[in-house]
Amino acid sequence: MSRRIPSSPPHSRDDGTPHKTWTVVLASLGVFMTALDTLVVTTSLPALRVDLHSSLSNLEWTVNAYNLAFACFILTGAALGDRFGRRRMYVIGLSLFTTASAAAAASPNIGMLVGARALQGIGAAIVFPLTLTLISEAFPVAKRGTAIGLWGGITGLGVAIGPVVGGAVVGGISWHWIFWLNVPVGIALIPLAATRLTESFGPRPHLDVVGLLLAGAGALGLTWGLVRGTAAGWGSGEVVTTLVAGAALIAAFLEWERRASNPMLPLAMFRQRTFASANAVSVFMYAGLFGALFLMSQFFQTALGYSPLGAGLRLLPWSMPPMFIAPLAGALADRYGNRPFMALGLALQAGGLAWVALIAAPGVSYPQIGVALTIAGTGTSFCFPTVANAIMGSVPLKEAGIASGANSALREFGGVLGVAVLASVFARQGVYTSPRAFVDGFTPALWVAVGFSALGFVAALLTASRPEQQRTHELASTVALEGGPA
């Protein structure tokens, strides 16, 4: 089956500037919507519990359902984009996300809300990896860092302000509007994406259905076990069974990909040093970031007595720097390479979190915490764009879709892993009974986040040092990948 990739749309000039601008704007807005909804519900749980007459434990699935669906369908979304068209699937993903947002806003009970959140997660899993693919196709390697820097800054901003937006909207209007806000944005984005983006396809005309099923089922088993580990017990039959089954299915997926004639994930990608090490950086960075964020918001409320909105606002020194620093880091990486910024970023993230762990105490003054969080946030800002740039620059352009999907899946797994491990270290009898008891669990858990960040620093040192060296890897990877599956 042959496919003709459409030429640039009429609005593009010879230099492609209008097309590039539209691509960055539309991809960035799409990723902002999906990133915002990752944590927007967290500060809304008390209001949801009262309005929907549900237990808090059931309401936690309004967060988990989104994250589970997101993690399990990311590779699927990227593969569908390669097969049926990236612009087409991006529009479909936006449509599903927008429709699910409206369903969540109108939910009369907890069951419908959780179902709508799962559909949101599937839509986000289609949209998120394709945003990076669309940007990578619109810009040459030498100029890609600036665009990916903007993408990274907006991604970080969406994740960061989620708790703030949730707290502000719930306090000022109602919880329904944390979902209604997505609807007009989606309605505006869908026709623009359909008419302003250029269609493109991946290199494989056939869909790897067996690979999709094995990858999705394996990701579900692993993430389910990690999400349920603290609540159900790490030695429980539910957790052990799902983790073992998930690991076995992922092993079967890798074996299938090794033998498949049209694999959805060419394992030869992981032979490239930069691709493998940058993905490791992504896993460890997000494990430290999401694990620490999960506990830090509770630290401000339980140990220091702030309201949910107050806690979200006090997280801004940590969460806002990516908006300003990530675009600059991406532009500088085009000139100096990705490795120094990834290494510096992980060192700063580890240092900032270590400072918080050293001074954490009931009643500790906020300025001290604020300075430490600013250091950690600056480090994260350096990593967001340069990790993505390193990954996309280490594979042939035709493999950009699946490379983005693989990175997104590993990044999401890192976040789930970080929350699960830190929550397990934190959990102990009576941890919520007093500020001192909370801090006694919080401090050792935060040191685990420091450890994850330190492992990411080591992985960053293994990537290619300069852009020229990375392009050499790209040429080598082209030869390896065109030679067939690993």
pLDDT in tens, the chain (486 residues): 444 444 434 343 344 566 677 888 888 888 888 877 766 776 666 677 778 877 655 666 777 788 778 877 877 877 788 788 889 999 999 999 999 999 998 988 888 998 999 999 899 889 888 887 888 777 776 667 777 777 777 776 676 667 677 767 766 677 788 888 889 989 999 999 999 888 888 766 677 788 878 888 888 888 788 877 777 788 898 989 999 999 999 899 888 888 887 777 778 888 888 888 999 999 999 899 888 887 887 788 788 888 767 877 888 888 778 777 877 887 888 788 888 899 999 999 999 999 999 999 998 889 989 999 999 999 988 988 888 888 877 777 777 777 777 787 788 788 878 888 888 888 777 777 888 988 999 999 999 999 999 999 999 998 876 544 444 444 444 434 444 333
Q: Are residues 104 and 230 in the same domain?
A: no
Q: Are residues 364 and 427 in the same domain?
A: yes
Residue 270 lies in a domain: yes
CATH number for the domain that contains residue 144 = 1.20.1250.20
Instruction: Find the helix packing angle between 141-172 and 366-393, rounded to 10°.
Output: 140
416 and 355 part of one domain? yes
Query: Cβ–Cβ contacts within 10 Å for residue 207, how many?
Result: 16
Do 315 and 421 belong together in one domain? Answer: yes
Instruction: Tell whether 1 is covered by a domain.
Output: no
Domain co-membership, 375 together with 294:
yes
| Domain extent for 212 | 208-263
- Asked whether residue 392 is assigned to any structural domain, the reply reads yes
**Residue ending a domain, choose from 177, 198, 219:** 198
In this structure, the answer to whether residues 343 and 455 fall within a common structural domain is: yes
Interatomic CA distance for residues 355 and 248, integer angstroms? 39
Helical segments of 432-466, H only: 435-460
Same domain, 125 and 112: yes
Q: Are residues 228 and 182 in the same domain?
A: no
Q: Which residues contact 34 (CB under 8 A, 6 or more apart)?
A: 70, 97, 123, 124, 127, 128, 158
Q: Are 422 and 430 in contact (CB under 8 A)?
A: no
pTM over 0.85: no
Looking at the structure, tell me whether residues 222 and 293 fall in a common domain.
no
Structure tokens at 314: 């006090």
CB 392 within 8 A of CB 334: no
Helix (H, G, I), strand (E, B) or coil at 484: coil
Distance CA 340, CA 348 (A): 12
Do 131 and 242 have their domain in common?
Answer: no
Residue 203 lies in a domain: no
Which of 145, 166, 198 is the endpoint of a domain? Answer: 198
Task: Answer yes or no: do 151 and 286 share one domain.
Answer: no
d(CA 432, CA 450) in angstroms, rounded, equals 23
Residue 12 forms part of a structural domain: no
What total number of domains does the chain contain? 3
**Co-location of 413 and 443 in the same domain:** yes
Which residues fall within 8 angstroms of residue 193, CB to CB, at 6 or more apart?
26, 30, 87, 90, 91, 94
Rounded to 10 degrees, the C-alpha dihedral 341/133/1/256 comes to 50
Last residue of a domain, one of 241, 263, 285: 263
On whether residue 5 sits in a domain, the answer given is no
- Residue with token string 């240092």: 351
Task: Decide if 85 is inside a domain.
Answer: yes
Residue 156 forms part of a structural domain: yes
Helices 86-105 and 110-138, packing angle to 10 deg: 150
